[in-house]
Amino acid sequence: SQQGEEDPQALSIQEGENATMNCSYKTSINNLQWYRQNSGRGLVHLILIRSNEREKHSGRLRVTLDTSKKSSSLLITASRAADTASYFCASYNNNDMRFGAGTRLTVKP
């Protein structure tokens, strides 16, 4: 199911800093989604950006999409210790969802 690559694999920042994670995918998409996974738990949907959108915001989250480069980025602003988790991008095309390998984010208090 893995199609995309996420970069970096792991990211460690101080509370209050911004965190940026990148995702690349291989095929055309209807949309691209980002999910969060706390350690030992299921994934939770964060945000969806359609293929005809370039940027989307939700609270402290900002997602961009560049379909010409087949890439997306997730920015978490003013990070908190509670943001510590793994973040996965998922490319979606006609009932086919493909998850990346994830970025492990650690936010130090």
Peptide bond into 8 cis (omega under 30): yes
Residue 22, classified by CB atoms within 10 Å of its CB into exposed (0-12), middle (13-18) or buried (19+), is middle
Return the residue of 84, 85, 99, 107 that touches another protein, per CB under 8 A.
Answer: 99
Return the residue of 12, 80, 97, 108 that touches another protein, per CB under 8 A.
Answer: 97
Q: Which is nearer to another protein, 77 or 93 (CB)?
A: 93
Give me the half-sphere count of Cα atoms (radius 13 Å) on the Cβ side of residue 66: 9
Query: Is 75 an interacting residue with respect to another protein (CB under 8 A)?
Result: no
Q: State in angstroms the smallest separation of the CB of 16 from another protein.
A: 27
Binding site for another protein (CB under 8 A): 1-2, 30-31, 33, 40-45, 48, 50, 88, 90, 92, 94-95, 97, 99-102, 104
